[in-house]
Chains A and B, each alone.
Chain A
Amino acid sequence: MGGIDLAKKLLEMRSIIKEFPGVRALDNVNLEVEEGEIHALVGENGAGKSTLMNVLSGIYPYGTYQGDIIYDKEVCKFSKINDSESKGIAIIHQELALVPYLTIGENMFLGNEQGKTSRIDWDKTYDLAAKYLQTVGLAESPRTQIKDISVGKQQLVEIAKALTKNVRLLILDEPTASLNETDSQKLLDLLLQFKSQGMTCIIISHKLTEVSYVADKITIIRDGATIETLVKGVDDFHEERIIKGMVGRELIDRFPKRESHIGDVAMEVREWCAEHPTYAGRMVCNHVSLNVRRGEIVGISGLMGAGRTELAMSIFGRSYGTNINGTLLLNGQEVHLRSVTDAINHKLAYVTEDRKGNGLILSNPIRQNTTLARMERISHHQILDKDLEIKYANEYKDILRTKCSGIEQNVGNLSGGNQQKVLLSKWMFAEPDVLILDEPTRGIDVGAKYEIYCIMNDLVSQGKAVLMISSEMPELLGMCDRIYVMNEGAVVGELTREQASQESIMACILKSSGNKGAMAI
């Protein structure tokens, strides 16, 4: 342990307090980061992790917070992002900040153009870009446009961009949130490689397995205050231990118990095919057949791009894809859903994976979001009954225990978990028989996840059928009665609760990919 004492303290944040009108977002936060370590910051949504990083990087300028930032033995007073960047602090946000129609190289040197102001040296730009791309292990030409590469690769471009600025402290906010497992693994290994070269990293993540894999120290933040810092090799790094710190209690069961009372088939899909809307002929769903019974939670597992969301949306009133073919049976009767309205009227609901982009109207209050999918329930002859709307909105707010100042609060001001609850209430308000939940717990904290699981259990106990798409295998294994495995647009396996395990799911995927490869040869 002597090495730790010798190691140089690169960053120290002392008693940071940050207040917003009416809220104390950070309440006496202390953080110490040593040179050359990977330091993870974990905590529930709204605990204050992102606020802390915004204070550090100068997004909230000096003077708007209390406390000291000591970086490289100097007290820093950053008034804008450029100040922190010039000191070698780079932050990569959850939402990537790349320009889609510029090339990789152009993006990497955006605001830091090579050459003279009057004449950009493109040769130098692309030469340097290629070098940095090599460092992060991205085999793409720097002249490729950003829109043409996957999110995982874009993440690497962001990191390469940070490297061009001689970064010493790299901050990553939820870097793997939108990556699949292979890409996540690659990214984490890259961070470990950087660490061996002496770079310091702060990583914010909800994925605790990744955190315990990559981090040297874990600082837990709860309700705007630092609770504790766990050190690798000294403290217990198990998920249960971290969760205990995050929620302040031990979550003995991460998944609530449920007794299954499985009934008749509520929804059945036979030989379902759909093509990509812009690339005609590319099958995103390839002869998919599956069914969900009343009182049953059925999972769909698969890697990113396996066609799960596409399948769900094409079933949900043809809201995705072209040349959709196949048979859809609801309660044993064949139906043709031509529009989303059709689907809703047939008591089908699709809860999107992208709650901000596709699910909620952030500028509208909770009240209006709750009733949006089925305004017939609060109107007569197209005239709204606002009192009735208020009543329902309050009712659903109470059922789901949404934390808010009231139903008139704009959804944009809620935390992720509470936004997800509003999204769920919107679809519960539509009174569906079958709910398709697409990544229902993405980007929300452990406590809120548990509540969402409880809601799902309530729904099936009322005899509804739930089809859950998820990229988190433990969640599927913990919640589902049955799991379908999808790969490349096709169902490649169906596993019962007893058969299902992380290994058996991966085996299904690998086997199907292997077959494809063999066929191609």
Chain B
Amino acid sequence: MTETKNKSVARPLTGFLKKNTMVIALVLVTVLFEILIMTVAHKPASQALLTPANISNLISQNSYVVILAVGMLMCILTGGNIDLSVGSIVALVGAVAGTLIVNMHVNIWLAMIICLMVGLAIGAWQAYWIAYIRIPPFIVTLAGMLLWRGLAQIILDGLTISGYPESYLNLFNSYVPGGDAEKGIILPVTLVIGIVLCAVYLATQFMNRAKRKRNNYETQSTSMFWGKNAVLCVLIMALSLMLGNHKGLPTILILLAVIVLIYAYYTQNTVPGRHLYAMGGNEKAAKLSGINTNRTMFFAYTNMAFLSAVAALVVTARFNSAAPSAGNSYEMDAIGACFIGGASAYGGTGTVGGAVIGAVFMGVINNGMSILGIDANWQKVVKGLVLLAAVIFDVVSKRRAQSE
């Protein structure tokens, strides 16, 4: 009995640390940059990482990485497969958007729908070869990388389209409450939004817990439950306080939240989501369990291109331009975010939350180094090392777990 008691005390703690390594790493890196910025670079606290303006900036800067990382995670889950064509699709869809909206003055909603359809069509094309003809994804998307980039350049004729209408830019670049709201209103509004979110979140958590208790299912220990919820609510409130002190809640954050929640739900709580994990874990076993793995694969790659199109709309609005070189190496940011966020390079494990944290992690490193005034080339070196370290950590810890 004593042995089991000891275990039950030790397990939640080590389990918690293991599950949340990346969150802890993220916190540490943020603190590290904060200290470096103030001590080494001797900048005032108002120019550091955790200022209202910078947080807001961080979100809009990295929005596309989050969107793409979520899509990339679906591909990686199917068996460590990646999509190299993402950046080129962003460029092509951006070019289409520019042509339609700026050159042809098409209604922006119609134009956006067309852009998303283009994304779906590109995705279906690539996914067909990958899923049904079983051409390795690496090859198909490498071809796509050249193909879509070329088409984007042809459409743009090598030029950059800019001068989008305000109505389009506002969709992605504005804040809640609107830009013309009085300064005094912004903070209360964001705080109220934060409180409402916390309340909704806590309510669902309590309902779940109550239901599980009623059915006599295993529940988290009370301290864990409270601790986790308290930390999350504090974070939400801190974020709304920060944003409220700047311009308000960025609309792009709402879009991100919706996408992340939808895909998190899809992967964790739906049958086709479960299929992704099953396929990545052992495709043969999945097939012999009646799972249509071709369809799963088709979904993952079509979806990736669809989300690339979404990201294209976001970045064209952010830069107010569609350029032939847009989206360059975005696929690498997305892949990196997934792996840093704990997705397995062999597929079958990884979460949407992890991918988001990976994206934020990369964003913080980028942003922190920029504030420190580190040369862009050195930034690449550091990012490369971080990615490698993350994957090494994943592989080694898995190996250790296996040998146990």
Contact = CB atoms under 8 A, between A and B. Distances in A.
Interface stretch (A100-108, A220-228, A351-359): A351-359
A343 B288 CA distance: 10
B287 A340 contact: yes
Q: Nearest 4 pairs between A and B by C-beta?
A: A361-B281, A341-B290, A340-B290, A373-B289
Given A340-B288, A375-B274, A390 B218 contact: yes
A22 B10 CA distance: 11
Interface in B314-354: 344, 348-349
Nearest to B3: A22
A329 B389 CA distance: 57
B211 A386 contact: no
Contacts of A364: 277-278, 281, 348
B274 A368 contact: yes
A391 B270 contact: no
Given A368-B277, A372-B278, A386-B269, A339 B290 contact: yes
A384 B271 contact: yes
B20 interface: no
Contacts of B291: 372
B277 A358 contact: no
Interface of B: 7, 211-212, 215, 217-218, 269-274, 277-278, 281-282, 284-292, 344, 348-349, 401-404
B287 A319 contact: yes
A141 interface: no
Given A364-B278, A368-B277, A387-B211, A359 B269 contact: no
Give chain A's interface residue range (CB within 8 Å of chain B).
35 or more
A343 B287 CA distance: 12
Contacts of B281: 361-364
B7 A384 contact: no
Nearest to B216: A391
Given A358-B285, A360-B282, A341 B292 contact: yes
Contact of B285 (A22, A361, A375): A361
A360 B7 contact: no
Question: Which of A20, A23, A341, A375 neighbours the largest number of chain B CB atoms within 10 Å of its CB?
Answer: A375
Interface in A359-395: 359-364, 368, 372-375, 379, 382-384, 386-387, 390-391
Contacts of B7: 22
B271 A426 contact: no
A242 B48 CA distance: 72
Question: Which of B278, B282, B344 neighbours the largest number of chain A CB atoms within 10 Å of its CB?
Answer: B282
Contact of B284 (A23, A344, A357, A386): A357
A395 to B, nearest CB: 12
B269 A384 contact: yes
A111 interface: no
B287 A361 contact: no
Interface in A125-169: none
Contacts of A58: none
Contacts of B286: 361, 372
A84 to B, nearest CB: 18
Question: Which of A340, A364, A372, A387 neighbours the largest number of chain B CB atoms within 10 Å of its CB?
Answer: A372
A350 interface: yes
Contacts of B270: 379, 382-384
Nearest to B7: A22
A404 to B, nearest CB: 14
A202 to B, nearest CB: 22
B278 A359 contact: no
B278 A390 contact: no
A340 B289 CA distance: 7
Given A363-B348, A382-B271, A426 B217 contact: no
A307 B65 CA distance: 51
A319 B293 CA distance: 13
20 contacts: A20-B403, A316-B288, A339-B292, A340-B288, A340-B289, A343-B290, A361-B278, A361-B281, A361-B286, A364-B281, A368-B277, A372-B274, A372-B278, A373-B290, A382-B272, A383-B269, A387-B212, A387-B215, A413-B401, A426-B289
